[in-house]
Structure 1
Amino acid sequence: MHSKLADRRSGRPLGFDRAEMLDRLMTLFWREGFDGVTQQQMAATTGLSTSSLYNSFGTKIEIYREAVDEYLHRMQEVVEPLTDGERGRDDLLLSLSRLEKLLGGPNAGFGCLATTAMARPVDDHVTRATHRYREQLRSGFRAALRRARTLGESSADPAVMADVFTSAVLGTLVIARADSDGAERSRHLKALRRLVATL
């Protein structure tokens, strides 16, 4: 998709790895939230001057939009077993395992950038992006639960249980930010795995 950011980047080659800088900026917004990030922090995080930062990424809100989009792209790893799997319960469990791995990674304690963005919708782009993510998650759970029902693994209503799983996962993602040692997060995910076993 063409954008004015693409226009700004179409000149001479950048003297840095843009993907790496975006990762740093995404992590900064993930940790601090939109309101907690300053221009000085973005410059310090990337090692770029404020002019280079603007010329390469745009304004703060443009950077945040791109950071949220990048985060949601990475979260597809969690959604993929639900939407593209061929099993039922096993796909649900794989999705939960991937979620636990992501939450327990080097950014454990930051919670979820998507749920932070949902709670503080800074503009229409972010609102639409996070809404699509919620619907994709719900649709994925519904698809996996339908497969489980077809395979005789579940008698539950896929639509109803999809709402249950979506709400539970989003709640777990919110809690993860305040859960310093990960114990509560792990307990929630363990409960969800037990729920899968009793469908």
Structure 2
Amino acid sequence: MKKATGALQRGRGRPRCFDQDTALERAMVLFWERGYEGASLDELSAAMGISPSSLYATFGGKEQLFRAAVDRYLAGQGGYMSRIFAEEPTARGAVQRLLETAADELTRPDHPPGCMVALAGTQCSPGAQPVQGLLRGHREASQCGLKARIQRAIEDGELAPDTDAAALATFYATVLLGMSVLARDGASRESLRAAVEVAVRAWPGAPRRP
């Protein structure tokens, strides 16, 4: 994202220049920590180091800023699912690595705990329904990605033909969401890793060969 130039005015003073990339990163962290409605415009503008008028002029408003922050999160800290699925040759290996990576990422000390997409819009007023819909759509897309990878494993013979791909995807999506909530409550990386070991043992066995 390019830096702002002199187009944004602050009252009648000199133009206020700021790094949009840095400002968006700070907004993302605040939304991640406090949720969409928990982060006020004044808090956001203070964290970003800009005036509320500059926030509106640059990003269009709080909802638009939140959408940009979610995109940034998914392009960075929260975007490891597609990379893992592309790199791991088996569905079991991909799901295990996904859960292990989540256990590490959700409990990192250098950013808020938990998953921004899972937690930033769970409790919102009716006026924030578009934001809830945005986050729900991302969660559903992740679950669809899980289902598609499991379905491919069935077609490749890694899993039995009668494996319920939808149910298995729902199970592991539930594990991921639960890990996010526990991380926000202060669960350690070690405790989440232990839960991952149990969840991986629930993976169906390979089909029997004739």
Per the shorter chain, which TM-score range?
A: 0.7 to 0.9
Deviations 1:110-146 (A, max 9, x none): 3121122341255343233222222222222112222
Correspondence for 1:12 among 7, 32, 35: 7
In the alignment, the residues of structure 2 paired with residue 27 and residue 33 of structure 1 have an alpha-carbon distance, to the nearest angstrom, of 10
The equivalent of 1:4 in structure 2 is none
User: Offset at 1:20?
Assistant: 1.7
AA at the equivalent of 1:137: S
The equivalent of 1:94 in structure 2 is 97
Contact residue 114 and residue 181 of structure 2 kept, 8 A: yes
Using the aligned pairs only, state the percent identity. Answer: 27
Contact residue 122 and residue 132 of structure 2 kept, 8 A: no
Greater than 6 Å deviation, 4+ residue runs: none
Correspondence for 1:110 among 104, 110, 113: 113
AA at the equivalent of 1:145: I
Does the residue aligned with 2:120 lie in a helix, a strand or coil? helix
The number of residues matched between the two structures is: 191
User: Offset at 1:66?
Assistant: 2.3
User: Offset at 1:198?
Assistant: 5.1
In the alignment, the residues of structure 2 paired with residue 197 and residue 109 of structure 1 have an alpha-carbon distance, to the nearest angstrom, of 34
User: Offset at 1:43?
Assistant: 2.6
Matches within 5 A, 1:61-140: 61-74=63-76, 75-82=78-85, 86-107=89-110, 110-121=113-124, 123-140=128-145
Contact residue 25 and residue 42 of structure 1 kept, 8 A: yes
User: Offset at 1:31?
Assistant: 0.8
Answer yes or no: is 1:175 the counterpart of 2:170: no
Alpha carbons of 1:108 and 1:178: their partners in 2 closer, same or farther (altered >3 Å)? farther
Q: What is the root-mean-square deviation of aligned Cα atoms in Å? A: 3.0
TM-score normalised by L of structure 2: 0.74
TM-score normalised by L of structure 1: 0.77
Alpha carbons of 1:117 and 1:177: their partners in 2 closer, same or farther (altered >3 Å)? same
User: Offset at 1:45?
Assistant: 1.3
Alpha carbons of 1:126 and 1:86: their partners in 2 closer, same or farther (altered >3 Å)? farther
Q: Which runs of 5+ in 2 are unaligned?
A: 9-15
